[in-house]
Amino acid sequence: MRKTKEVTFGSEAGRDAGKVYVLTEMSAARSEKWAVRALLALGAAGFKFPPDIDAPGMAAMALVGINSLLSIDYYLAEPLLDEMMACVKIRPSEKAELRDLIEDDIEEVSTRVRLRKAVWDLHVDFSSAAALLTSLSAVATTSQGSSIIPMSPA
């Protein structure tokens, strides 16, 4: 089952104070494609990956961090950013059904930035990423102690 998270901002959110946004994790297939496109765009931009970046998909994105996306050309980043916001729905009032966002649902740029960060966190939960990397490392080592899959260049 996909993770969801409800986000409500306080008075610091200005015109978006009190609005309820619900974030839903992308499917595994969609998040893998998103991460591969982001990693390829980072590579094309000359981003220097950490040497232990052999992790797949979103686990790799957890290692490079959200700020790494700042090195991507905007025209490559724009669809990735749009897909992040597609994970966000709004509940316009307490009794209303969730619905897709329309442009006027978010009135502050800072709210968009904070929602993107919350979507990022939902997908690259660092405790889950660390567990995945630990599992990959364990699977990669046979009982003889030799590595099946190199986890780092060393």
Is 148 inside any structural domain? no
CA distances from 122 to 2, 38, 58, 113, 147 (A): 10, 17, 11, 14, 31
Distance in angstroms (rounded) separating the CA atoms of residues 10 and 114 = 12
Strand partners for 6: 22
Whether 95 is covered by a domain: the verdict is yes
**Count of domains forming the chain:** 1
Domain assignment of residue 91, yes or no: yes
Q: Of 27, 65, 31, nearest to 48 (Cα)?
A: 65
Condensed to tens digits (0 to 9), the pLDDT of residues 25-83 reads 999 999 989 988 988 888 888 888 777 666 667 777 777 777 778 888 899 899 999 99
Q: What's the whole-model pTM score?
A: 0.74
Displacement of CA 64 from its chain's centroid (Å): 11
Q: Which domain holds residue 88?
A: 4-140
Q: Quick check: is 149 in a domain?
A: no
Has residue 82 been placed in a domain? Answer: yes
The string of pLDDT tens digits covering residues 73-132 is: 899 899 999 999 999 999 988 888 999 999 999 999 999 999 999 998 998 875 544 444
